Structure formats: structure tokens, C-alpha cells
Structure 1
Amino acid sequence: MNLQELDQNKAVQSGNSKGDTQKAAADLAPVFDVPVKIQAVLGRTQMEVSELLRLAPGSVLELDRRVGEAIDIYVNNRLVARGEIVPVDDRLGVTMTEIIKDGEGVN
């Protein structure tokens, strides 16, 4: 199948009925158990090696985000969403507040 046929196939699939959509989801079932790496990134910073070597317990790293600003959520190193940190029992969790479409979240 060439790229043109793939595009035509995709265009036809966009008009799928509910039954066709369920069949397409069933076709994807083999990938549902594939593990993915998810990261919630609070922020970033840069420093020189000399600064890094001076870090000690109690040192504070200033990040590029403000308090309350959304954090980035990556799946397999690809930005897919933004969210907020929330408590989940005695652990941290993330509530997704925005889904990033292809190319939207790239700086």
C-alpha cells in the first residue's frame, strides 16, 4: 500500500459507522498491552557543572515554571498533555487539563 492509498483509506475510515469503529478498536487490541513510559515534568533548569557540584541536601533548584502553572505530560518522550498535580491518598497524581494535538505544544 502506498501513501496515496493510505490517505484514501484514512478518508474512508473517517466516515465509519459505530460498528466499524468498534472493529477498528478490536484490530488495535494487540497493542493495548504494550508498555509506554509516562513522565510528568514539573519544570526545567540549566546550570553549570560547578553549580551542580555545589548542590547539597536542602539546596533549592529554581525551575522555569510558576507555582500553579500546568506541568507537561510526556508519553514515550512526546508531549501529549498538560496537567495539574493532585494528591492521591499519600502519593502524587496528575489531572490532565489539556490534550496536546500534533505540533501544538512544541516550543
Structure 2
Amino acid sequence: MDKTADSNPFAQVPIEITVSVGRARPLVKDLLTLSQDAVLPLDRRVEDAVELYIGDRLIARGELQELEGDRAGQLAVRLTEVADLRSGIS
């Protein structure tokens, strides 16, 4: 980490990142009939990139991965594309 980030008073403030794996657009009538164990198809495939957002701003894309070792089973994201936070992601 560079010294500018270390000296920034906000550097230690946690921020929430949302990882979007896809979207669903069911009809309201179909949504009202959902029950436990129902399957809601998304608009993406398992191998498609996920998107990372801060609020509604896209900050990165990546691939879902499962951690190993003492964190086995925990999901993580390997970043494949990161936005220049000043100008956005291309």
C-alpha cells in the first residue's frame, strides 16, 4: 500500500461491497407462488463474471471462487478487472 493511502484518515473505515451474481425477472404471480426449495433462474451462467459495486457504482468484475484450508467452503472473488475509481470501468 502506498504512503498516501496510509496517511488518509479514511483508509481504515470499512466499506460495504455488493457482489452481483445475476438478476431474475419473474412475474409477480410467479413470485407469489415461490416456496422453500424453489429455484429462481438468473440471467447469468456459473462461469460468467460477477460484478462488484459500492452503492450503485461498478468498481470491479471477477470470478467466484471457493476458499480452501481453514476457510474451506467460504466464497471469495478473484478480481479480473478493476475500475479506475476516478473514471469508472471500461
TM-score per shorter chain, which class?
0.7 to 0.9
Q: Does 1:25 align with 2:5?
A: yes
Q: Does 1:69 align with 2:54?
A: no
Match of 1:79 in 2: 58
Question: Distance between the aligned counterparts of 1:87 and 1:26, measured in 2?
Answer: 30
Question: Distance between the aligned counterparts of 1:93 and 1:26, measured in 2?
Answer: 25
Letter of the 1:67 partner, please give it: V
Change (3 A) 1:51 1:74: same
CA RMSD of aligned residues (A): 1.9
Question: TM-score, with normalisation over the residues of structure 2?
Answer: 0.76
Higher relative contact order (CA 8 A, sep 6+): 2
Q: Does 1:58 align with 2:37?
A: yes
Match of 1:104 in 2: 89
After superposition, what is the alpha-carbon deviation per residue over 1:52-83, rounded to whole angstroms, capped at 9, x for unaligned?
11111221111111220100011233210011
Shift of 1:45: 1.3
Cα contact 1:36–1:76 (8 A) shared by 2: no
Q: Which has the larger radius of gyration?
A: 1
Which runs of 5 or more residues in structure 2 are unaligned?
none
Which runs of 5 or more residues in structure 1 are unaligned?
1-20
Match of 2:23 in 1: 44
Q: Does 1:92 align with 2:75?
A: yes
SS in 2 for 1:83: strand
Cα contact 2:59–2:88 (8 A) shared by 1: no
Aligned length: 83
Q: Where do 4+ consecutive residues of structure 1 move more than 2 Å?
A: 24-27, 100-105
Percentage of pairs with the same residue: 37
